A and B are shown apart, each in its own frame.
Chain A
Amino acid sequence: MSEQSKMAGRQSVIFQNPPCILGRSSVAGQKEGNGPLGSFFDYIEEDPYFGADTWEEAESNMQRKAAELALKNADCKPQDIRYLVAGDLLGQLIATSFGIMELKIPMFGIYGACSTMGEAMSLASMLVDGGFANRVLALTSSHFCGAEKQFRFPLQYGNQRPLAATWTVTGSGAVVIGKKPDNSEGSVLIKGVTTGKIVDFGVKDSMNMGACMAPAAADVIYRNLRDFDRSPSYYDKIITGDLGYIGQNILFDILKEKGYDISEQHMDCGIEIFNDETQDTHSGGSGCGCSAITLTGYILEKMYQKEWNRVLFVPTGALLSPVSFNEGDSVPGIAHAVILETEG
């Protein structure tokens, strides 16, 4: 085997044997099912508790369901999976640990706030291309009620949500990433990744997460274009996680200033997943589940249908906790970019 470097530019990786997406699943809540992308999801649960007694357990059930569906879609059993890379928003990743415990797969728990899907897919692809695993399951989840309880107010508490606020998506998305099969025509490969830095522009308003995360998204997209020496038009779509309407405009502004206009290619999962006018979600959707189920339900479907052949998938995360917020810290952002391309 050659010793050719897999490193590209300053922050990117280019895979020598690009891993392939072998299976996918999207589990969504009722509100998401009623949204514009509702028909793309594999499974929509009407019961917000997912058959459990608590919000935390509900999210675990949702994640287990997503894992099972992805394994089924990839036509494999838990023992065929070498590693699991997963995380969620709840403290100490309890939705993940209680959700996938039964699968008995060696696992890496990760926290990337709402960028977790990008982080999980980056690490899973590295594991596969590095020869450390044949198949890896990458998944994440978020639940509106669990997130509200942890980060904001009790559900029945009466208050006004600011217009800049986003609505945490109830959903869980999973992908099985593995070695490219012999007949890979029509499949989607992960060609490379760009890992984001923590970027902090000093915004302290946790109800305006788009503004907190936009500089991080701009940074990683800029880095990706520079590291691979590409123009935005190389991609059919550049898709951010949950910047919402406000964050999207800021992203355009920053990148324009840096010499790139991505307004033609750009799409934001948070904007796509809800209809603000009828669903009263304000700036858009957010949460780990937002980018995850938009990817596994909608984006990959578009790629399999060859409507889009090259996609830069950039989930975005806001790195805050209720403690850091109370102690007066700002809300730094992070984003991870994954290059998806169709084969053949």
Chain B
Amino acid sequence: MSSAYTNKLLMIDLSRESFETLPVSNDLKKDFIGGKGFGAKLLYDMVLPETDPLGKDNVLMFMTGPLTGTMAPAMRGCVVTKSPLTGIFLDSYFGGSFAPEIKYAGYDGLIIKGQAKKPVYIWINDDTVEIRDAWHLWGTDTLKANEQIKTELNDDTIKIASIGQAGENQVLFALVCCEYNRQAGRGGAGAVMGSKNLKAIAIKGSKLVSIHDPKRFTKACATAFKELEASPDVEAFRVAGTAASVDFANETGLLPHKNYQNGTFSKASKLADKGQARHLWLGSAACMGCPIRCSKIGAIRSGKYKGTITDIIEYESAALMGSNLDISDIRAVAHLTKLCDLYGMDSMSCGNLIGFAMEACEKGVIPSPQGISLCFGNIDAAEYLVHAIANRTGELGMLLSKGVKQASEEIGITAIDLAVHAKGLESPAWGPRGVSGMGLAYMTTDRGGCHQRGFTVTYELSGEWKGAPLDPLSPKGKARMVIALQNYSAGRDTLVNCDFGSYGISDDTYAELLSAATGQKTDPATLVETGERIWNLVRCFNLAQGLDPKKDTLAPRFVNEPLPDGPSKGHRISAEDMDYMRQEYYQLRGWDKKGIPLDKRLNQLRIAYAGHHK
């Protein structure tokens, strides 16, 4: 029977220099669909407790969804591994053209285990898999490695995922660069790749992704395109990508300024779409097959950094490398972000860390490095730290390369109060003090401080959730919303669809696309239930890996310090508020008071095997 699944996973063992294909079972497809679901189940099965994230026993997976590589709009891929930054589950998503190419080569996903003895890269050309020497590539940045591999394989159309120096040096928040300007950015997948001595994966696929019912599928695609065109949100992304969020976050008091001390920044608009359009943008670009084309590609044309090609500075980078550091020159922010991209490290975590270091230095907690005035607003100091972290040079560079949690713990108690993260993953650029549901999302997100597993902001500010009134500042009624959004997002991450697509495409259409493509009957409720199954399985995985449920908490700044500005001035999320939200959340999830999933719920979700952990 024809289906959009290839029904094969490619497993590569770098220690043994061998590879094999594994069948994809019907049970796996039925219960986990693809993407995050496949990754979560395989990680649960393959990575035992105590596994060193940077050792040979960790696995690094690149998973696609059943609709990846088809005409269904805005489908992506994800990297799943045990994070070296948090020590727990990590899923990190990337657009571009690398994920479809995995499908075209004939695989639903790649699983990489072991550790190469010397630097290598993997070359996958349909059924031919080679592990090739990469000594000559070691030390190059992400794009140089990409270019050199294309040159040596004599083919510009090959798709490549690569790491830069940060990944080689195992900076704990190093990323995987998936061409072009797309990154599996968060949580340190690039460090895992570096620990395996794996510089890059190059793929070329000539096979076809087939469809169970082509006529029905083509019709569903047409519906999806129509829904996208009808959505004003999608139109906004088409015009200005995520850059317009800078003004929105500033007006609502959620924009991080000076290491999240404040929620507004007087020069925010310079970092937003208008500033970017003026100084950077030249045209639109899209991930493969996506009609939204939210990327605004261009170049820095003037000033100290002119000549640099840059994609849109996404909201998260604009805020964390910009307002968070009290920097308002978008060209400088583009420069700093590009440096992170080339070194191959997460510009969100990096911006967060530089903000932490600047505040710590201004408050006398750490000394300024020799010859550097480490203070907010100093672009050169920020650049100094980007180089120092990526290359792990100097005492401060070494320290910050371990992420804000470890770095602050090594400095001491006064620094811990300045560290803004959840479970070791640096917080994203949405301060939660004016939207307590976002706080609960950070407290409970499977991979740590992340805004994408339940983005409550728009609902909370609209004052409504599913027809019922909602007070953004109150802890009440937040758990129900956060759980619904988490299950929904985990369900969607099996597809693996871009969040922006779901601003336009309806739940029914996604289910119809999936049913038509795979022949597996699906409805929106099945996707959400699958999401809940995954969420619980990942929770069990994290607990087995040693997660202390007491870490379902927020950074001290958000708990102890009232927001000094913006519409929610004076508000914080107190320990009592956290406790209220946490208990409501655990109860509604079917977990016990300590946050451990109860067997009853696990049974209902058909993952009873995940219970009874220590």
A and B bound?
no
Residues of B at the A interface (CB closer than 8 Å) are: none
Residues of A at the B interface (CB closer than 8 Å) are: none
